[in-house]
Structure formats: C-alpha cells, structure tokens
A and B are shown apart, each in its own frame.
Chain A
Amino acid sequence: MKHHHPNIKLYLGVFAVLMALTVVTVLVSYLHFPKTLAILIGLAIATFKAGLVATFFMHLKGERALIFSVLGVTFFFVIFLYLLPIVDMSMVADRVIHAPTAQNTQPEHGH
C-alpha cells in the first residue's frame, strides 16, 4: 500500500489559509453587500476553501484518474439535481399563491 509521504509544513500552511479565509468570509458578510454579490463572494470563498481541503488534506493531488471520474460523474448529476428543480420552481413562481393567509383577490391570468 503506497502512502503519500507527509509534508507537515504544507498542512500547517493550508491550515492558516483556511482560518484566514473563514475570517474574511465573515467580515465580508458584515459589509452587507447586495444579495447576489454576497452570494457570489460567499460561494467563491467556500469553494476555494473546499478545494484546499480536497487537494491537500484528501490527497487528491496525486490521485488516480478513476477517483476523478467518480467525482466527475457525481457532479454531472449534481448539476441536474440543482438546475432543473430550481428552473422549474422559478418558472412556476407566477402560479404560487403567496398571500400568507387569504387567497389573493384579483387572480391574475397565467400567461
């Protein structure tokens, strides 16, 4: 069983970067950016942090192609798991009755 030779300094370096990024993402949230911008920044930081953990801590760097194909197939299906229900929900938004209690009075006509 070949194992990755450990590089302690690298792990501690990645650790520092992860801690820093956590602080950054919290500070960014205090600036109350408009919602879409806030989402993009938050997502970018989180993806970068996840990438760090995956490549160094999970040793994905030197990993064989099969592991990447397993992850590739999974993410191919994850995209559809996200995309289609969300697209559907946004397309039927005009049908959803929002009034928390009463039925909305003047039913607009579906287009």
Chain B
Amino acid sequence: MADKKHSDHHQEQHWVWKYVFSVDHKVIGLQYLITSFLFLLFGFGLLMLLRWQLAYPGQPVPLFGRFLPEALAPGGVLMPHFYNALGAMHGTIMVFLGMVPLGVGGYGNYILPLQIGAPDMAFPRLNMMSYWVYVVGGILMLSSFFIPGGAAQSGWTSYPPLADISPGQTMWLVAMIFVITSSLLGSINFIVTTLNMRAQGMTLSKMPIFVWGQLVTAVLLLLAFPPLEAAAVLQVMDRVFGTSFYLPTGLVIFGQTLDVSGGGHPLLWQHLFWFLAHPEVYVLILPAIGIVAEIIANNTRKPLFGYKEIVASMLFLGVMSFLVWAHHMYLAGMSSKLSNFFLVTTLIISVPSVAILTCLILSLRGASIRYSVPMLFALAFLPLFGIGGLTGLPLGLTTTDIYLHDTYYVIGHFHYVVVTGSLIALMGGVYYWFPKWFGRRMDDFWGKVHFWGTVITMNGIFFPMFIQGLAGVQRRLYDPTAQAHNLPTQPLNVVSSVFAWLLFLAQIPFIWNFFYSMFKGKKSEENPWKATTLEWACPSPPPHGNFETPPKVYRGPYEYSVPGAKTDWTPQHVET
C-alpha cells in the first residue's frame, strides 16, 4: 500500500531530519510542548524574583541575589526598572511563548490530526517552519535581557508613549513579530487540515469538542494577530525611525521637550493592541475547554451534555470576541458614550461562557465518574474557571470598573482564568495523552501529589489578590509600601509570595514524573482510558502516517455506555 512504502522511506532519514527538523506533526507537537513548558518555567522564575520584591520591598534577594548583575540589582536588591522588566517579560513569556504554543502548538499539532483521522497536517513543511520561527522569536525575546537597555519595561501591553521612550522595547517588538508570524502560519495549517483532511464519515457534527476548540482558536489567531503585527510595525517605526504614530505633540520628558513631529495618538495603540488581546484570551481558554471536555466525557463514561450547545457557544464566543476589546479601555480616555456599546457586547459574550460551563457541569449528572488524575484536573477546572469568570463581572461593568480597573483585582481575575483555568486543564491533558505520546503511563501517586500541591498553592497566590484589589492596591507597583492605602494589605503580598514559591516546589514532582515515566513509566496498552475518539484508534506512539488504513467514522465522538453494547465505550471507527 502506498502508505507502507511511505513510512519505510521515513526510517532511514538521518536522526536530525527525524527529530530536529522533522515534518511529522507528532514530533513538532512534542517539540512545541516541551519548549513551551520550558518557557513557562522560565517566566515563572521571573515571577518568583518579582514576588520577593513585593513581599519584602528593598531587601536583597536571598540565594539568587548574588547572581543578578549589579546594574539591575545592586547587592541583590531589585531596581525599579528591572522590576518593571521582570513584570513585562513575565506577562509576555507566559502568554505568547508559553500558554498559546502549549495549547495550540503542542496539543493542537499532536492531537488534532489524530482526532480527525488525518495522516498529517495539510502543510507539513509550513508546520515545521512555524515551530522554528516561534523558537527564533523566543530566543530573540530572551536575548532582550542581555542587550544594552535591558528587556522591555512597559508591561506586556507595551502602552505608548512609555513604550516609545523606555529602553528595551525594540527587541520585544521584533520578537513579537516573529511569534505572530509563527502563530499566523500555524493557524492556516490548522484550518485547512480540519476542513479538508477529515476521515471519511467525520462530518462536522461528529468532530470532538477539542477539534472544534482548535478550529475556532485558529480562526481567531488568523484574523486577530495581523492588527497587532501592524501596530508593532508602527511602534518599531516610532522607536527606530523617529516617527510619532503614538506620540502627540508637545511631550515633555523630564523637562526636555521631545523633538518629534508629533500628531500621533496613544489610544491608537490601545485600540489595535486590545483588538488582538481579547481574541487572544479566548485563544488561551478554548483549547483548555476542549481538553476538559475530552477528559470529562471519557471519565464520566457518558456522552457530553449538550454537545451542540457547547459547539454553538464556542462559535458565538469566537465571533463576539472581536467586538468586546474596549472593555479594557473604559478609563483610558476613550469616549465614555462608546463604553456603553462595549459594556453590552461584554455582557453578551459572558453568556456563551456560562453556557459552556453549565453544560460541562451537567455532564456529570447520570455519570459514573472515574477519579483518575486527568479527571481531577478537569474537575478542578470547573469551579476555578467559574471564579475567574465571575470576577470578570465587576470588571466588565463600567461603573464598578472605575474603582477596580488596574488594581490587583484585575490580576486575580485573569490569573484565575488563565492559570487555574487554562494551565490546569493543559496539565490534565499531559496526564491524559501521555500514554498516547510515549506508550507509558505517568505515575498516579505523584500525579495526585502534583495536583493537590498545584491547586492549593495556586488559590493561595491568587485569592488574596481580590482582597488587595478591593482595598485599591494598584497593579505593577515596584514598592507597595510607598503608598498609605496599600500598607494594610501588605501581609497578603507575603502570603501570595510564599504560595508562589510553594507552587514551584509543587511542580518538581510533575517535571520528575514527566521525564522519568517517558523512559521508565509503566507500559500502557494502546487505549488505557478506554476512550472512543479516533486518536486512540492507532498505536501509541503512532508511526509516521498515523493510521495503517485511513479510518472510517460511523458515530459521534463520545458514544459511551451505549445501551446493549458489549463494552461501555464504542469507538468512532468501529463498524458494528
């Protein structure tokens, strides 16, 4: 069969072409996965430094303080501009180099073609290129720490005019353009693969929710990233060629009038940035919802409740995510009448998220729940993502946002959505698909240790932030004790910081478990979770070309406990 000859040809390739510059979506998926986890770890390291300064302002950092360069942290005490750089790079690395490549690049690349029964991505070479463009972007982003002027220091949102005049932003912009190009090429690949290369019989209504999530995510990436790329080009022109797209006339910086032509508008950047950044946050959560849906369906041994509602909500979420961006700008000087428009669209977009969460919780009714490690993560996702969603309500409402905007309440809100929402689901995905990737099982005991350690410490970090936010503590403060109204809640900073360091300790069993089980984990059979979706219909780890014979699909993705069936799971590709 052509497929047989085709996979032999693969064997005698030099290992560089097989593992480093591979065009196989599975190898690229694992490359994305491990690279993005390393970036997440690095970004988290920056945060742990930053939290020291928040908990004990002005005191030298123990242990690692000695290694920090004198210009940035004399005697181990962090300088304000280094603190700002740590904050900006923490945000950028976690969002653009960590979460999105993990959710879309890692899981999407590996699992999507398998779940739709395709031999590989539509454009394998383009797929490899988008990974390596992402790696180059990541290296450029990290190198910005070592160039004169240091890393970007004006927040991951890089608002001008501060971003136009403060050092370190140019390398950030160049790296961002690389990362954006990589995501753009990746999204084209995903859409074409999902639409064109589905197995025979796999109509759109038989696609798993994970595939739907990746499809909507790819459309968001495709259409939302170019405006940020254009805005980044404009900011590069401002910084390098002295134009003033974002610099109004008559700026006086430390007493010196800025000799630029002026005429620019700072709000222009905010509009273009948030035009991307709101779809971006849905790009962060949709893959996670897909993973949670897969794990819940599998471990409740019954079809998901309201498959059509979830798919409809995802599509509606995708469309609406383009119309809500300026709820980040209620107080930014935008016209207050226009805020009412964005207030209403923000209300409308909260409905599909509530609908998805309702359907996922109701999927537990009438189930026979198996408390396996991935299921623990998926179950923890539901209430914690709920908290994240609920705390978005006072921020989305114009009047209460007056008080809560740019305070720690905002930081608590988006960390509850991204960290205890998206990241927990992605960790659950590692435990769930590990047997598929390496043919071995991760250790259950250490999985549970990692789960409880992570969930407890994450709540310990982020819940105090709501209390600080209500007390009016502003975000991005180098020294929280410098202002009277922040002093009473300063002990909460210590609490959050301690839990942040404990969260790092809680990750050690996970890292150990991941790399140890890769080689010495318990051997697992092809379909350890007894799942029905197509990725379990091929050997684990699947050979090049995935399926011996292209599978045919006969039924929906979650046909569990079909009355009268021999086993409580009937895979999509089995005829009967």
Contact = CB atoms under 8 A, between A and B. Distances in A.
A92 B338 CA distance: 10
A101 B267 CA distance: 20
Contacts of A88: 267, 271, 326, 334-335, 338
B165 to A, nearest CB: 19
Contacts of B223: 73-74, 77
B250 interface: yes
A87 B341 CA distance: 12
Contact of B271 (A73, A85, A103): A85
B271 A84 contact: yes
Contacts of A84: 271, 326, 338, 341
Nearest to A100: B249
Interface string B266-283: 011001100100000000
Interface centre among A88, A91, A100 (most CB of B within 10 A): A88
B250 A100 contact: yes
A59 interface: no
Contacts of A30: none
A23 interface: no
Contact of A77 (B249, B250, B267, B322): B322
Contacts of A99: 249-250
A111 to B, nearest CB: 11
Contact of A66 (B195, B219, B272): B195
B326 A101 contact: no
Contact of B262 (A74, A92, A100): A100
B334 A92 contact: yes
Which of B249, B323, B335 counts the most chain A CB atoms within 10 A? B335
Interface string B227-248: 1000000000000000000001
| Interface size band for A | 20 to 34
B333 interface: yes
B265 interface: yes
B339 to A, nearest CB: 10
A103 B250 contact: yes
Interface string B327-338: 000000111011
Contacts of B334: 88, 92
Interface in B11-27: none
A97 B248 contact: yes
A81 B227 contact: yes
A91 B341 CA distance: 13
A92 B250 contact: no
Nearest to A110: B336
A58 interface: no
B271 A91 contact: no
Contacts of B341: 84
Given A81-B227, A100-B249, A92 B333 contact: yes
A25 B501 CA distance: 66
Contacts of B262: 100
A59 B364 CA distance: 51
Interface of B: 195, 219, 223, 227, 248-250, 262, 265, 267-268, 271-272, 275, 322-323, 326, 333-335, 337-338, 341
19 contacts: A73-B223, A74-B223, A77-B223, A80-B322, A80-B323, A81-B275, A84-B326, A85-B268, A85-B271, A88-B334, A89-B265, A89-B267, A89-B268, A92-B333, A95-B333, A96-B248, A96-B265, A99-B249, A103-B250
| 5 smallest beta-carbon distances between A and B, as pairs | A91-B335, A85-B271, A92-B335, A77-B322, A100-B249
Given A97-B248, A99-B250, A100-B249, 7 more contacts: A89-B268, A92-B267, A92-B333, A96-B265, A99-B249, A100-B250, A102-B250
